[in-house]
């Protein structure tokens, strides 16, 4: 494998292929990274269930409420990218605003979250590969293999290897594949929502079907602590992933403007998609606690599998639609697997370019113009992580996956605060600067801090995560999700201290200087 090092350790000069992507490609990558079909299948039921109190018909309101902090953070990304389009994103900007150690921890939180979620995505892609093939050939024996840990793990590892190879082959190939995968996913989701709403409005629903009402979009009639807060904790992270559109900024045409616009547009399109599917699902299935009702806890793991047979029927067309639903979740997980590698590899590249990681991670392929060590390294680490924890402790793997929310809150919140502090000297030069570079990012950061504190409190509860037998999964008597989430952050701090001893240039500010923005 032939590689070259970038000509300079500066933003925009790392050797990546410049101008390869436009606005549409960036939006597609940003949306695909969130895995919309899988996110809705796995999260919508839990959003409806809420916490101790049922959210029920107000689920669309929760979707809107969860969108607000994500929109605010996307504005922070947009403004920071406008003045410093670096593929390290949170790492670079936090180091500029708060110093090298804060930046390093921001980069660590980003990469750790991506590596952990790769295990989850690989697991889903592997399992749904057999579900899809079984539906395609009407063979229940093949579908049953989806529950086999060995074969789903093998298939998941194959998906990681395939998507890593595609990312290695070039950013343009990656984007073209995302067009196809996301198109399949969105078309099927929209078809699902439209069929559900048409059946309700034409009086062909099922027991529990309800005509949509504007009151569904007002969540403030619910109790905050028992319904809104637990549901928000779930709903917030179905939007996670749009920042990939910014992580590929150095490979985008007009890198100061296009990636930021793509990030904001991605979040808006996700909101529309999620609202349409949520309203359709709630209207058709209802929120009852029996049958296909979304208040039935047995349906929470995959609402499409629960609603699909009743929605599409037992005809040949119905079987085709169920096959397409399985295909949408498969393509969703596969697409997100690929787009998760992109920002992880580029964060590692940027950190290495500024000497915050070993220099091997700066290697760029001379033909494909993609990170070599960073791409394959992140793919191999993700695969090893997935395999190790599947073999050693599936419960610990579940705890790690559950703790991703803490890592996301750390690096999203850090970006919000970094924007306000980095632009502090220019905030009062115009009303736009005050709101777009000051108040909105600050509010986004505060919201993420609240999510982190509340999430940690919930995750440390002994009964937050239970195994298949109903036993609490705990470490030292505390909820395993909270403990491993804190453990991941502590591990990052230990690695940072070790690298500080090995290589001091980054931590002394020689490669990435701490400063405030003063140009405008």
What span, in angstroms and rounded, lies between the C-alpha atoms of 234 and 238? 7
- DSSP of 315-336: SHHHHHHHHHHHHHHHHHHHHH
Poorest-confidence range of 9-18, 348-357, 383-392, 470-479? 9-18
Q: How far apart are CA 465 and CA 427, in angstroms?
A: 44
Angle among Cα 44, 49, 52 to the nearest 5 degrees reads 150
Domain ranges within the chain, ordered by starting residue: 23-393
Pick the CATH number of 23-393 from 3.40.190.10, 3.40.50.10490, 1.20.1740.10, 1.10.760.10: 1.20.1740.10
What's the whole-number mean pLDDT along residues 164-173?
A: 94
Q: What is the tens place of the pLDDT at every residue in 289-325? A: 999 999 999 998 889 989 999 999 988 888 899 999 9
Q: Residue 9 has what pLDDT?
A: 40
| Residues paired with residue 371 on neighbouring β-strands, in sequence order | 364
Contact assessment for residue 77 and residue 439, using Cβ atoms and an 8 Å cutoff: no
Percent over 90 (pLDDT), the chain:
84
- Report the predicted TM-score, pTM, of the whole model to 2 decimal places: 0.93
Q: What is residue 12's predicted lDDT score, i.e. its pLDDT?
A: 53
Q: What is the pLDDT of residue 471?
A: 87
Average pLDDT, the chain: 93
Which pLDDT band holds residue 78 (cuts at 50, 70, 90)?
very high
The pLDDT of residue 70 is above 60: yes
pLDDT, average across residues 331-337? 92
> Within 13 Å of residue 269, how many CA atoms lie on the same side as its CB?
21
Q: What is the mean pLDDT of residues 170-183?
A: 93
């Amino acid at each position: 494998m032939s590689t070259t090092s970038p000509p300079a350790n500066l933003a925009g000069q790392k050797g990546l292929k410049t101008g390869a992507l436009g606005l549409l490609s960036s939006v597609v990558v940003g949306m695909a990274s969130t895995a919309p079909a899988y996110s809705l299948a796995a999260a919508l039921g839990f959003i409806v269930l809420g916490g101790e109190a049922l959210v029920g018909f107000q689920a669309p309101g929760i979707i809107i409420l969860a969108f607000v902090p994500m929109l605010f953070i996307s504005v922070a990304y947009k403004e920071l990218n406008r003045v410093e389009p670096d593929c390290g994103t949170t790492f670079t900007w936090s180091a500029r605003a708060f110093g090298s150690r804060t930046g390093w921890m921001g980069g660590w939180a980003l990469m750790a979250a991506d590596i952990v979620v790769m295990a989850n995505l690989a697991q889903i892609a592997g399992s749904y590969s057999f579900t899809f093939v079984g539906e395609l050939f009407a063979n229940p024996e093949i579908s049953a293999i989806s529950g086999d840990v060995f074969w789903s793990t093998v298939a998941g590892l194959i998906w990681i290897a395939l998507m890593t190879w595609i990312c290695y082959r070039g950013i343009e190939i990656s984007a073209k594949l995302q067009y196809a995968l996301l198109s399949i996913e969105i078309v099927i989701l929209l078809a699902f929502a439209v069929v559900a709403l048409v059946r309700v409005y034409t009086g062909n629903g099922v027991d529990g079907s309800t005509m949509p009402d504007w009151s569904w979009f007002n969540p403030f009639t619910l109790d905050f602590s028992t319904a809104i807060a637990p549901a928000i904790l779930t709903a917030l992270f179905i939007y996670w992933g749009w920042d990939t559109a910014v992580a590929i900024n150095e490979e985008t045409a007009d890198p100061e403007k296009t990636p930021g616009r793509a990030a904001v547009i991605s979040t808006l399109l996700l909101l529309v998609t999620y609202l349409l599917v949520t309203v359709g699902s709630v209207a058709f299935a209802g929120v009852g606690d029996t049958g296909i009702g979304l208040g039935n806890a047995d349906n929470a793991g995959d609402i499409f599998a629960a609603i699909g047979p009743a929605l599409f029927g037992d005809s040949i067309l119905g079987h085709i639609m169920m096959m397409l639903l399985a295909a949408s979740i498969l393509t969703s997980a596969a697409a997100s697997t690929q787009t998760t590698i992109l920002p992880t590899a580029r964060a590692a590249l940027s950190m290495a370019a500024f000497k915050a990681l070993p220099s091997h991670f700066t290697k760029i392929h001379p033909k494909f113009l993609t990170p070599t060590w960073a791409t394959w390294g992140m793919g191999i680490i993700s695969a090893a992580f997935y395999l190790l924890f599947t073999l050693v402790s599936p419960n610990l793997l579940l705890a790690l996956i559950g703790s991703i929310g803490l890592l996301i809150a750390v690096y999203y919140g850090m970006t919000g605060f970094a924007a306000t502090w980095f632009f502090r000297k220019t905030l009062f030069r115009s009303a736009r600067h005050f709101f777009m570079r000051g108040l909105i990012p600050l509010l986004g950061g505060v919201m993420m801090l609240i999510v982190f504190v509340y999430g940690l409190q919930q995750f440390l509860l002994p009964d937050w995560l239970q195994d298949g037998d109903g036993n609490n999964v705990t470490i030292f008597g505390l909820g395993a999700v909270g403990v491993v989430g804190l453990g991941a952050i502590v591990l990052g701090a230990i690695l940072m201290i070790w690298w500080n001893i090995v290589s001091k240039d980054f931590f002394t500010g020689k490669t990435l200087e701490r400063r405030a923005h003063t140009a405008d």
